[in-house]
Amino acid sequence: MKTVSRRQQAILQFIERFLDENDYPPTIRDIQSELGISSTSVVDYNLKALEARGLIRRNSKISRGIELMNRGSTRRNVVTIPVIGQIAAGQPIPVPGDLEGSDVTETVELGSDLVRNSGQGLFALRVKGHSMVDALINDGDVVILKQQETCENGETVAVWLKDQRETTLKRFYLEGDQVRLQPANVTMDPIFTPAENVEVQGRLVTVVRSDL
């Protein structure tokens, strides 16, 4: 009763694989024929053992009522965010509304603890160019933004600087009628600009860099 037998482990793996391929759990007989087990009762026996160990949950009487305790629940709080375009220094930021009809080809999945609130109003952009190294953001990174036209002091936001015709990511501080834009890189100096020159496009929620 202590150890998970080889056969039980194989069953567990098969269930996992099956779930990946089919969206619904396997039947006892699926498991049986896959693993070359002679009887359904043997599968039932081992399934009971796995359940006693807390590795799976079984809903009696219900067809395909096998649930994996591990992933299962964790996999839920995953948010899928569409990558709707690029962000570069010299271009305005695409916002979700712009591409209404066009279906997005690329998406990013993140655990909801990385984005809090279930991903509502979030969108992602791929960074083009090295213009945002002062925000510790590299060419090719994916930035995830929450669409909003205003922001609190201290939040990192994507802003469009009208005069410079330039997009940038900085911490935002309204000081009188001036705005101080503070780079995330502590070694770099802030820039100051009149409040009416900045147009907040969204708040920076997450940055993902994938060095594959």
Catalytic amino acids? 131, 170
Q: Which of 151, 152, 28, 164 is nearest to 90 (CA)?
A: 164
For DNA, which stretch binds (CB under 7 A), given 39-47, 69-77, 80-88, 115-123?
Answer: 39-47
Write out the two tokens for 58: 């079984």
Exactly one of 95, 99, 184, 191 binds its own copies (CB under 8 A); that residue is 184
Contact status: 54 vs DNA (CB under 7 A): no
Looking at this protein, which amino acid is placed at residue 9?
Answer: Q
- 46 or 156, CB closer to DNA? 46
For DNA, which stretch binds (CB under 7 A), given 25-33, 123-131, 166-174, 178-186?
Answer: 25-33
Residues in CB range of 27: below 8 A, 6 or more apart: 63, 64
| Strand 66-68 to 78-87 pairing | unpaired
Exactly one of 17, 29, 75, 116 binds DNA (CB under 7 A); that residue is 29
Of residues 21 through 80, those in contact with its own copies by CB under 8 A are: 22-25, 27, 59, 62-68, 71-78, 80
Contact status: 13 vs its own copies (CB under 8 A): no
CA distances from 25 to 39, 61, 67 (A): 19, 14, 8
Distance separating alpha carbons of residues 118 and 124, to the nearest angstrom: 15
Distance separating alpha carbons of residues 212 and 196, to the nearest angstrom: 41
173 phi/psi in degrees, rounded to 5: -135, 120
CA distances from 18 to 25, 32, 80 (A): 7, 13, 23
Contact status: 1 vs DNA (CB under 7 A): yes
Exactly one of 9, 34, 64, 104 binds DNA (CB under 7 A); that residue is 64
- 36 or 101, CB closer to DNA? 36
Beta bridge partners of 70: none
- Closest approach of DNA to the CB of residue 44, in Å: 4
Find out whether 102 and 73 touch, Cβ atoms under 8 Å: no
Q: Which positions touch its own copies (CB under 8 A)?
A: 19-20, 22-25, 27, 59, 62-68, 71-78, 80, 107-111, 113-116, 130, 133, 136-138, 155-156, 184-187, 203-212
Q: Which positions touch DNA (CB under 7 A)?
A: 1, 3, 5, 7, 27-29, 37-42, 44-46, 49, 58, 60-66
